[in-house]
Structure 1
């Protein structure tokens, strides 16, 4: 068998497809493997480039195969799709992965460590429970509305919803009150779990210098700091601050042609959890600045004078991302906690 230089590995739960190519692009290996055969196959293979789509389980396999001496590259699935020829199947996908990884200008995903994935699991679980709690509250409000009980919106009005149910106990069917209390118990259980997960995130954030440094910036708390540590690669891999902001999808989408620059709305192409949290943090800073007032002539004062608050929040989130990059690459705390200096 000729020397294999690039291997494309199509991941699955039980059946894996391998496509190996030589230096001149010729096909050297086309093979289907079971899950138990994967590591044994790569252990016998001379060191080469092993490419996979950055999908579910990819980071685990990247660590395991990388430990065998191979150079592992994770390719974003969106960048693999253009290389799929006609019909989609496991063999075609593995070939497309190998072809995409061979491109000199291809961009790759940094494999995550077990610690990053553990923190990401805590973050995702909290996010899931928050959504479930919101869904449960909305379902309860909808059911109560069917019986003429209009409940106020939001988690902050949960005490008012309880009082509304207790006061209407004599006016509605007993089954309605009984079922409503089941909803309330579920909401309380989810709230308790969310608080425990938030406490865990705060503890994890306090353990690392990077998270503590990020939290010196207004609008960045322990949850945002841990999201950056869990989902983003080391900020030092970005050449400049704009690259990090672009990776988060906080820059305008381009549709330029003929030498004419045409910019649209934000691209939203990057990591959505970090982008969402930065925008939420930016909105909290803007609300605080609106109440307390901003320094005339400052960047924040200027943009709030010219743009709507939501547009200003996107711009501020972009600025926060760039500042976080500078703080991390220079190992410095945030210098101006007022966020009003130009």
Structure 2
């Protein structure tokens, strides 16, 4: 007899449900959400588990690594498909979710999610921390602009390092106004220092990471974009075809087809948002700021003439995702191509 386990993970406790190959519930219990505690709970069952499934969440990678190292056939499954099955339950409880996950493991109706290596997860956390600081800096700058604009002061477009000086120069004659702005400028100065520290950490990593340096031979790809792509893909061999990377990052059109209806929509936006955003930023740099000729840039500019720059950026981002994967697999640098003679 073969058995299957479903784990509904929450921050403190995990609901566990075990079913046999006929779908009959054999055991239900709860355990602490920690690898050792889950290992002990599953070991006490003394049953041959074919699959131990859990839904993707913030604790999944840690638990998956621990259970796999302990010898359990742990599987992380995609959230949307799991939710579709869980909606069949009339009541939303941890116990019912664990039951649904166990049945999903038994039927095989799931899409397995790749669990990234610990190093890639840490790189991604560093990039998320840097982006968070940058986003909050922009928010503070926008608040300062809004406050000064109410007094008719237009700050223009100074660089980030000159922003505080411009504010003090233009609003320094208003003591009451500066009493509100100085705390914001002090916070902004501190965040600029921390952003520089996080950026230096990224640059140090890229300097010693051969794959990132290889990816940076592509136009538009800087250190931040290279490490983002490296951390997102993690292992290039998990994609059978390079063109699958574009769909994995949500850069391919969504589609709705039913009977005579067949609608091709905007990009799906599935997958890793950080990696997708990084590629779109790289495409913007390549098309708008880049000056060196390449077959990729010429192709993108031709699309921009026909369909507009917004669509061209998405198309170039999708092609960049494919090209970077091929470069990584083949161990080659970017090929600019030969410019046609006039």
SS of 2:6's equivalent? strand
Deviation at 1:244, TM superposition (A): 1.0
Q: Is 1:159 aligned to 2:159, yes or no? A: no
Deviation at 1:30, TM superposition (A): 0.9
Of residues 10, 22, 25, the one that matches 2:23 is: 25
Match of 2:265 in 1: 264
Deviation at 1:226, TM superposition (A): 1.6
1:218/1:337 contact within 8 Å kept: no
Return the TM-score normalized by structure 1.
0.89
Q: Which runs of 4+ in 1 moved over 6 A?
A: 292-297, 337-341
Task: Provide the C-alpha distance between the structure 1 equivalents of 2:109 and 2:240, rounded to a whole number of angstroms.
Answer: 15
Deviation at 1:134, TM superposition (A): 0.6
1:217/1:337 contact within 8 Å kept: no
1:83/1:99 contact within 8 Å kept: no
Q: Is 1:317 aligned to 2:320, yes or no? A: no
Greater shift, 325-334 or 274-283, is seen at 325-334
Task: Provide the C-alpha distance between the structure 1 equivalents of 2:282 and 2:229, rounded to a whole number of angstroms.
Answer: 13
Task: Provide the C-alpha distance between the structure 1 equivalents of 2:125 and 2:252, rounded to a whole number of angstroms.
Answer: 28
Structure 2, unaligned stretches of length 5 or more?
A: none
Task: Provide the C-alpha distance between the structure 1 equivalents of 2:214 and 2:294, rounded to a whole number of angstroms.
Answer: 24
Return the TM-score normalized by structure 2.
0.89
Q: What are the superposed Cα offsets for residues 151-203 of structure 1, whole Å, 9 maximum, x if unpaired? A: 225x6266255334334333x2x242133122112111111111111111122
- The structure-2 alpha-carbon separation of the partners of 1:163 and 1:303, relative to structure 1 and needing over 3 Å to count, comes to closer
- The structure-2 alpha-carbon separation of the partners of 1:328 and 1:260, relative to structure 1 and needing over 3 Å to count, comes to farther
2:82/2:110 contact within 8 Å kept: no
SS of 2:159's equivalent? helix
Q: How many residues align?
A: 335
Task: Provide the C-alpha distance between the structure 2 equivalents of 1:329 and 1:102, rounded to a whole number of angstroms.
Answer: 35
Q: What are the superposed Cα offsets for residues 250-281 of structure 1, whole Å, 9 maximum, x if unpaired? A: 10111123376531111111211111110111
Of residues 114, 117, 141, the one that matches 1:113 is: 117
Task: Provide the C-alpha distance between the structure 1 equivalents of 2:205 and 2:162, rounded to a whole number of angstroms.
Answer: 32
- The structure-2 alpha-carbon separation of the partners of 1:207 and 1:263, relative to structure 1 and needing over 3 Å to count, comes to same
Q: Is 1:168 aligned to 2:171, yes or no? A: yes
2:164/2:185 contact within 8 Å kept: no
Task: Provide the C-alpha distance between the structure 1 equivalents of 2:3 and 2:179, rounded to a whole number of angstroms.
Answer: 66
Q: What are the superposed Cα offsets for residues 286-307 of structure 1, whole Å, 9 maximum, x if unpaired? A: 1135x66777995234323312
Q: What are the superposed Cα offsets for residues 21-75 of structure 1, whole Å, 9 maximum, x if unpaired? A: 2223221221122346323213445563211111111100001111110111111
Deviation at 1:128, TM superposition (A): 0.7
Deviation at 1:6, TM superposition (A): 1.7
2:56/2:79 contact within 8 Å kept: yes
Q: What are the superposed Cα offsets for residues 2-33 of structure 1, whole Å, 9 maximum, x if unpaired? A: x5532111111212100112223221221122
Q: Is 1:94 aligned to 2:92, yes or no? A: no
Paired residues for 1:35-50 under 5 Å:
35=33, 37-44=37-44, 45-46=46-47, 48=49, 49-50=51-52
SS of 1:108's equivalent? coil
Task: Provide the C-alpha distance between the structure 2 equivalents of 1:322 and 1:274, rounded to a whole number of angstroms.
Answer: 13
2:14/2:31 contact within 8 Å kept: yes
Of residues 130, 136, 149, the one that matches 2:134 is: 130
Match of 1:64 in 2: 66
Task: Provide the C-alpha distance between the structure 2 equivalents of 1:5 and 1:135, rounded to a whole number of angstroms.
Answer: 52
Match of 2:183 in 1: 182
2:23/2:106 contact within 8 Å kept: no
**Alpha carbon RMSD of aligned pairs, Å?**
2.7
Task: Provide the C-alpha distance between the structure 2 equivalents of 1:137 and 1:296, rounded to a whole number of angstroms.
Answer: 35
SS of 2:257's equivalent? coil
Task: Provide the C-alpha distance between the structure 1 equivalents of 2:223 and 2:128, rounded to a whole number of angstroms.
Answer: 14
Match of 1:254 in 2: 255
Task: Provide the C-alpha distance between the structure 1 equivalents of 2:14 and 2:340, rounded to a whole number of angstroms.
Answer: 54
